[in-house]
Structure 1
Amino acid sequence: MKTIFVLLGIFSLSISSAQHGANELYRSGEKYNSTVYQLNNGEHQRVSQTKNEAVYRIKILNNVKTDAYIVTFGLNQEAKSVKECNAKINQRIQGFKSAAKNLGIKEDEMYVDFITQNKIYDYVSETQGSQVKVNQVDAGFEIKKNVILRFSNQVSFDDLVEKASDFEIHNIIKVDYVNLNADKIYEQMFEEAHKLLQIRKNQMSKHIEEGSEDEPTIQISFVALSPTSQYKTFQAFETSELSYSNNSRYSDKHVIRQEERKSKTFYYDGLNPQGFDKIINANTPVVGMQYVMEITMTYRKKQ
């Protein structure tokens, strides 16, 4: 009987910010998708047996440096008319694109996405005696556009951010990570899994009961994990406690307490290495994509 292979491939290639964390991180404090949570929690059961079958599992983690980035810059422009507004924002975009080309980014690696065009309003007031009248008036138009750029590791992200600020582009919406050789990564991990599989099969041969199938059913899952889903946020500070009484019945003084601003930051918290049979590039400090391959081999009793 031939071995039955079942491939369960999950390519989560909406890969996002990590080493270059962008403003997208502010959207949520802790963003763990269900796939990451499921892989990162619970014990790795290497062997499980019932009266009808024996199941053996191998799980490999691979930390991979990214090949390229896709960064989204957001900008807006206000003016009295749509024509004037569009002309001003396009001038800023063209200036930024020219600066990006000088850094080594090609024209076909840049794209301008038109987001919104809307009217804006303001208020004017006039005083008539003791009455102040406030009216809402038309203040013009606002246009928002995104500039999306793709660049490799050879381009300095810091230089790109500085060039963007020269044209009053300060909103880094998100940064996506791209790996161009997913097939090669899969092949490498499969080879490592195959080596472990041979060792596991030799160990299993002593325990496989008589009457089981000669060849097992093998399931392979392959998951690419986004760094964005693996960021957490925290604040670190110590503060004093203040008790006060504000009873206007006995005093005309009021206590106003003003808090200092506490900075919030983020940190990358990748998959817990515990529970994996093999970790490739385990010692790298680089924040990048994490790939998980899990092979499940099932021996069933012959019917």
Structure 2
Amino acid sequence: MKNYVSFLLVLLSITTQSQISGNRIYESNSTSHYGSSKNSFKNTISINDNLLTVSIKVLLNNKADFFTLVLGTNEEAETVSECNTILNKRINGFTHDLHNMNIKKEDIYVDFISQTKVYDYNIAATKANEYQKGYEIKKNIIISSRNLAEIERIITLASKYAIYDVIKVDYYNDDIMNIHSNLFEEAMKIAKHKKDLYIKTFKKKIIGTPNASEDFLIFFPQSQYKKYQAFESAEIETYYRNLSQNQNFIKKLARKNTTFFYDGIDTHDFDKVINMAKSEVGIQYALTLTVSYKIDTSL
């Protein structure tokens, strides 16, 4: 029968938390984040027969090097030519002002999305006849920038030309391979520390070369936002029909504010988090490394 020993190396950390929870408490507590589990701590060392296996998790909160902003715009007119002329006039005025902001021509691209017919109805007496009203053309304007503050100025400038649809903002880093290498080195340092602690404590010896496997994941901001509403509603029972006047009533609910917040990866079960207190939203890199060492059982 195989002897199996498993123990947990716990690095003692004392954390104090204030009692300010924020309106997020109105949100459902169910999550699907990577590695998230209530009160979880999964960094273990396991020994099975003559094999020592060490698991390490490292997280990096990293600032983006550049951004890609996608703005959507459209125009309706009776003819395709008129539609395109009006839309291009708006786009050309916008891109001209972008050049004045020192945004290079090669950092701006106009993407033709669609050209469709637009229909409406003529209502006469009890009949509603459908007819072709004109055409609609949609185009996206894609802009790259290395300055996050510049993105907000671009969005404000776009409104001058009736361009209001902010489709998305993508975040990028220049050298992902270098980021991976740095995280791998950090993980190997922690693996060595855990292995050395075991050997010193139990008077064991490692033989041969270790085997390793890894999982490298990248989390971009657009997938890390959650929606929530915070409000209290009164409950009331009433009738919505006035029987004496044979009249129905429409119940109109008050508007409740809906917003979104950035909710990054849960860091509880990571051995090391680089840039833990970084407040700026960026890109998160998670490396999970599993290293196996062969133990000399002759001792």
Q: TM-score range by the shorter chain?
A: 0.7 to 0.9
Equivalent residue, structure 2, for 1:162: 156
Structure 1: distance between partners of 2:50 and 2:190? 25
Higher relative CO (Cα under 8 Å, sequence separation at least 6) belongs to 1
| TM alignment of 1:13-32, pairs within 5 A | none
| TM-score, normalisation: structure 2 | 0.80
Sort the Cα spacing of 1:249 and 1:177 in 2 relative to 1 into closer, same or farther, 3 A.
same
Deviations, residues 78-127 of structure 1 (Å, cap 9, x unaligned): 11111111111111111111122222221111111111111001111234
Identical columns (%): 35
Structure 2 spans left out of the alignment, 5+ residues: 1-27
CA RMSD of aligned residues (A): 2.7
Q: Structure 1, unaligned stretches of length 5 or more?
A: 1-28
Q: CA deviation at 1:48?
A: 2.4
Instruction: Decide which of 30, 35, 41 is 1:39's aligned counterpart.
Output: 35
Give the 3-state SS of the residue equivalent to 1:174 in structure 2. strand
Alignment of 1:49 onto 2:43: no
Deviations 1:137-178 (CA, angstroms, capped at 9, x unpaired)? 110110111111100116522211111001110000011001
Q: 2:291 aligns with which of 273, 280, 297?
A: 297
Choose which of 79, 94, 114 in structure 2 pairs with 1:116.
114
CA distance in 2: counterparts of 1:218 and 1:189, whole angstroms: 14
- 1:208, 1:226 → 2: CA distance? 42
Amino acid at match of 1:237: F
Aligned to 2:77: 79
Which of 236, 249, 252 is residue 258 of structure 1 equivalent to?
A: 252
Query: Where does residue 219 of structure 2 map in the other structure?
Result: 225
1:261 Cα deviation from its structure 2 partner: 0.8
Compute the displacement of 1:207 (Å).
6.9
Q: Contact conserved, 1:103 with 1:155, CA < 8 A, in 2? A: no
Alignment of 1:143-222 (within 5 A): 143-153=137-147, 156-206=150-200, 213-222=207-216
Q: Provide closer, same or farther for how the CA distance between residues 57 and 163 of structure 1 changes in structure 2, counting only shifts above 3 A.
A: same
Distance 1:81 1:251 in 2: 51
Counterparts of 2:240 and 2:115 in 1: how far apart (Å)? Answer: 49
CA distance 1:66–1:238, change in 2 (3 Å): same
Aligned mate of 1:283, from 268, 274, 277:
277
Look up the SS of the partner of 1:191 in the other structure: helix
C-alpha distance after superposition, 1:255-280 (max 9, x if no partner): 43211111110001111111111111
Count residues in correspondence: 267
How far did 1:64 drift? 0.4
Distance 1:214 1:258 in 2: 74
SS state of the match for residue 228, structure 1? helix
Q: Contact 2:119/2:132 (CA < 8 Å) preserved in 1?
A: yes
Query: Within the alignment, does 1:63 sit opposite 2:61 as a pair?
Result: yes
Q: How far apart are the structure 1 equivalents of 2:241 and 2:85? A: 59
Q: Report if the CA contact (8 A) 2:217-2:287 is conserved.
A: yes
Give, in angstroms, the shift of residue 230 of structure 1. Answer: 1.3
2:33, 2:265 within 8 Å by CA — same for their partners in 1? no
- Asked if 2 retains the 8 angstrom alpha-carbon contact of 1:59 and 1:293, the reply is yes
Measure the CA separation in 2 of the matches of 1:292 and 1:269: 15
Contact 1:233–1:267 (Cα < 8 Å) also in 2: yes
**Secondary structure at 1:37 match in 2:** coil
